[in-house]
Amino acid sequence: MAEARVEVLRRLARRGANPQLQRALQKSRPVDIAAALGHLPPSEQRRLFLLLPVSEETAEVLFRLDQRDLEPLVRQLPFDRLVKLLDLMEPDDEADVIERLPLELKDKVLAAIQKEDKVLVEDILAWPEDSAGGIMQPIAFRLREDSTCRDAIAALHDQQDRLENIFYVYVENEDEQLVGVTSLRALLSHPPATPLKDIMTVDLIKVSPLDDQEEVARIASRYDLLAVPVVDENLHLVGIVTIDDVIDVIKEEALEDMMLMAGVPDEPDPHAGGIFKAARQRFTWLLVTLFGGIGMAEVIGIFENALAKQAILAGFIPVMLGTGGNVGIQAATVAVRNIAMGTDANTPLLSAVFRETRVGLLLGLGFATALGAYSLLRWWDTPLIGLAIANSILATVVVAAGVGTLVPLTLHRLSIDPAVATGPFVTTTIDLIAVLIYFTTAVAVLGL
């Protein structure tokens, strides 16, 4: 559905069919217009964007644009139009867009936006980007505890322009400290004269502005909250983190984990800094592979004479490394998943490792049988090759399963993100172990 609308907009824009385009734009949602803009060359982006009215919807288009499209567009846009659009945004979205503006525009814009917004935006920008303060909306619907349901509904009418979404009604005492929360539904379903303090929940879940956004998302999803209040050290309500931001955080963190697992630094656009920057960042991680590889070359070098006598041993290096690596990654992934789901919370470390090692033993026996049979049939005259291969693969797989489980669980206990466990570092370690096991076993069995 969304794709079709985006495609229609893109085609009309490219054809330069302004009247039809304008009609199509009126029927489109901001996120789809932003996606269509992403498909256009800069000059056409500008033309399409200028067809849009100065409205809250157009402001949201700006907010929804990818970094890659936002930069060239804002540079081409008349400055006062940009400022007018920013003035129409909620402070949290406004701060997000201003944060992403090119440096030379940022200060000019901050000086030009409405004064009351400016204070709020600067407050948000002052917090770390990935903290509760950095993603919160600095406005909330709040009332004194002695207000009645009737007062609350009246206040709602008055303030509705200012408040984008009202998920909860926050209740403060006379020192402006957050003391309770209630819902719109509760306002409507109690007699109008009921004071808020009689219907509010006092057992509040709240976060502080410096809490990590991931922690805020975890709390919101654990307790099924539509908004989490952010309070400072004096218990003053400074803002709320809303469910739509929570979803963005959850999606962001999942991608971040995935990138971490592959050893690619997570950036808004991995190609933004050009291919040199991309190559440099990835190379840092790959250095582990490089040094590990040189280490393995040295280890194998020790067995040069054995290899010269039985060159065929070299042929099994790949299967030893590949199997060890994949079994290790599988074990690590299961461990990371169990940590994420909380399934292993009450399993002692050693029993989890022991359990995975037994899975490894079964897998190892399977591999030993298959590879042993293959080697036996292939090198019928040297049956010891089969024995050497079978023994090494068994040992490698068991060790890989154990290490693959132990590392993420240990990292988690040390409060390090366990997702790094499937990255190059652990894989290379397992590779080194596999090569050592393989050659020592082969040399011992074959008497080389």
Per CB under 8 A, contacts with a copy of itself among 167-186 are: 184-185
Select from 59, 435, 437, 442 the one that contacts a copy of itself (CB under 8 A).
435
Select from 157, 174, 175, 414 the one that contacts a copy of itself (CB under 8 A).
157
Select from 15, 236, 251, 413 the one that contacts a copy of itself (CB under 8 A).
251
Select from 137, 147, 323, 396 the one that contacts a copy of itself (CB under 8 A).
323
Q: How far apart are CA 414 and CA 416, in angstroms?
A: 6
CB of 223 to a copy of itself, least distance (A): 6
Q: How far apart are CA 400 and CA 368, in angstroms?
A: 14
- Which listed range, 13-21, 72-80, 114-122, 320-328, lies at the site for a copy of itself (CB under 8 A)? 320-328
CB of 47 to a copy of itself, least distance (A): 17
Contact letters (x/-) for a copy of itself, 192-231, by CB under 8 A? Answer: -----------x---------------x-xxxx-x-----
- The DSSP bridge partners found for residue 212 are 131
- Which listed range, 12-20, 90-98, 109-117, 251-259, lies at the site for a copy of itself (CB under 8 A)? 251-259
* Token pair 């200028």: residue: 50
Q: How far apart are CA 139 and CA 92, in angstroms?
A: 9
Interface with a copy of itself (CB under 8 A), residue total 115
299: phi then psi, degrees, rounded to nearest 5: -60, -45
Residue 172 is classified by DSSP as E
CB of 188 to a copy of itself, least distance (A): 6
Select from 112, 235, 359, 376 the one that contacts a copy of itself (CB under 8 A).
359
Cβ neighbour number for residue 377 with a 10 Å cutoff: 9
CB of 183 to a copy of itself, least distance (A): 9
Query: What distances in angstroms separate CA 281 from CA 116, 272, 292, 341, one per listed residue?
Result: 41, 12, 18, 31
Kindly state whether residue 278 participates in binding a copy of itself, applying the rule CB under 8 A.
yes
CB of 373 to a copy of itself, least distance (A): 11
Torsion of CA 286, 291, 296, 299, to 10 degrees: -170
Pick the closer one to a copy of itself by CB: 113 or 303.
Answer: 303
Kindly state whether residue 11 participates in binding a copy of itself, applying the rule CB under 8 A.
no
Pick the closer one to a copy of itself by CB: 9 or 109.
Answer: 9
Pick the closer one to a copy of itself by CB: 410 or 429.
Answer: 429
Torsion of CA 339, 344, 345, 346, to 10 degrees: -170
CB of 109 to a copy of itself, least distance (A): 25
Kindly state whether residue 350 participates in binding a copy of itself, applying the rule CB under 8 A.
no
User: Which tokens sit at 16?
Assistant: 């330069």
Residue 77 is classified by DSSP as S
Q: Are 170 and 181 in contact (CB under 8 A)?
A: yes
**Amino acid present at 151:** D
Kindly state whether residue 50 participates in binding a copy of itself, applying the rule CB under 8 A.
no
Burial of 271 (0-12, 13-18, 19+ CB in 10 A): exposed
Residue among 169, 226, 173 nearest 201 (CA): 169
Pick the closer one to a copy of itself by CB: 126 or 347.
Answer: 347
CB of 334 to a copy of itself, least distance (A): 5
* Token pair 């990590």: residue: 212
Select from 27, 108, 236, 413 the one that contacts a copy of itself (CB under 8 A).
27
Q: How far apart are CA 30 and CA 53, in angstroms?
A: 12
- Which listed range, 47-55, 98-106, 119-127, 363-371, lies at the site for a copy of itself (CB under 8 A)? 363-371
Select from 82, 127, 316, 412 the one that contacts a copy of itself (CB under 8 A).
316
Within 8 A by CB and 6+ apart from 303, the residues are 313, 439, 442, 443, 448
CB of 19 to a copy of itself, least distance (A): 20
Q: What is the CA radius of gyration of the chain?
A: 30
Cβ neighbour number for residue 288 with a 10 Å cutoff: 17
| Opening angle at CA 83, ends 77 and 87, nearest 5 | 140
Kindly state whether residue 283 participates in binding a copy of itself, applying the rule CB under 8 A.
yes
Q: How far apart are CA 121 and CA 94, in angstroms?
A: 7
| Opening angle at CA 135, ends 133 and 140, nearest 5 | 75
- Which listed range, 43-51, 77-85, 169-177, 352-360, lies at the site for a copy of itself (CB under 8 A)? 352-360
- Which listed range, 80-88, 173-181, 232-240, 289-297, lies at the site for a copy of itself (CB under 8 A)? 289-297
CB of 267 to a copy of itself, least distance (A): 10
